[in-house]
Amino acid sequence: MTNNFSKKVFDKLTQEKREQFNREVLEATYKAQKKYGFNESSTWNNKSDAFKHAYLSWYLSYYYGQNVAKWLGNMHEDETPNAPFGERNMDLWNNQIGRELTEEIREYYSTKVKKMSKEEISDFVSYLIKEKIENGELITTPSDKRRYSNMQYDRLKDSDRVFYKGELYEGMDEKERRRFSDRYFQQQNWKQMNMPSKEQLEERVSKGELIKVRNYVRGDGVSVNGYYRHRPVH
């Protein structure tokens, strides 16, 4: 349904308009790359490549809609069906980050961007993408173990986790205990609140306040025990 809708929108463009459309989008992308130093001699399988995909995907979704952006992004990948898995995975992941930026801007920066010119919005988005690259949110090499198909799990943060009484020592190995001990005791002592029970967390899940993550396997092959977490901000 989504693909058919996007294709119909794109097919309405004449050949001349398509070429103009392509020039508009690519010129904006290359300009942003150059301004923020992501125009290395090679823009393939590196930070410049990641920036390009995120920015291009944002531009399409912001000005033409999420459906069109996703359809065109997938179509581009489908045009090279024999591309190595890691490269395709990297591009799809970064395209998704770009599309999410549209929602992030509209939800958190709508008042700010209303006062901006198109050029200023481009600069602002470029800065946000640059920050996301520096924070490791984008994939900048095909060897990255994170998987687009597993994206919702591979992006979870330790700080999103909510513990219940006794959980720290139930089903966790020594490495996990060391990793989560600070978060566990921070939650336990925050405002001197008592650690909730598992039943209380289940009740909050039923009300939609929390999410229960079931056992899953991360992109790098590591098995993760199920747990409770706050809902994502975006």
- 164 with 122, same domain? no
- Using a pLDDT cut of 90, give the percent of the chain over it: 24
Of residues 234, 93, 105, the one with CA closest to residue 154 = 93
- 107 with 168, same domain? no
- 83 with 173, same domain? no
Residue ranges of alpha helices (H) inside the chain are: 2-11, 15-35, 47-64, 66-78, 85-108, 110-114, 118-134, 151-154, 174-189, 198-206
Does 147 reside within a domain?
no
SS3 111: helix
Cα–Cα distances in Å, from 116 out to 71, 85, 113, 123, 163? 28, 39, 5, 10, 43
Does 81 reside within a domain?
yes
Does 150 reside within a domain?
no
> What pLDDT does 121 receive?
93
- 82 with 173, same domain? no
- 87 with 28, same domain? yes
Domain count, the chain: 2
Q: Rounded to an integer, what distance in angstroms lies between the CA atom of residue 212 and that of residue 232?
A: 12
- 20 with 105, same domain? yes
Tens-place pLDDT, residues 83-131? 899 999 999 999 999 999 998 888 878 888 989 999 999 999 999 999 8
SS3 229: strand
Does 78 reside within a domain?
yes
> What pLDDT does 191 receive?
45
Q: CA angle, corner 15, sides to 33 and 126, nearest 5?
A: 15
pLDDT value at 8 more than 70? no
Tens-place pLDDT, residues 153-183? 677 677 788 888 878 777 777 777 777 877 7
Does 54 reside within a domain?
yes
Tens-place pLDDT, residues 43-83? 778 899 999 899 999 999 999 898 888 888 888 777 776 78
Does 134 reside within a domain?
yes
> What pLDDT does 106 receive?
86
Q: Rounded to an integer, what distance in angstroms lies between the CA atom of residue 134 and that of residue 140?
A: 10
Domain that holds residue 192: 158-230
Does 149 reside within a domain?
no
- 133 with 185, same domain? no
> What pLDDT does 234 receive?
44
| Identity of residue 77 | E
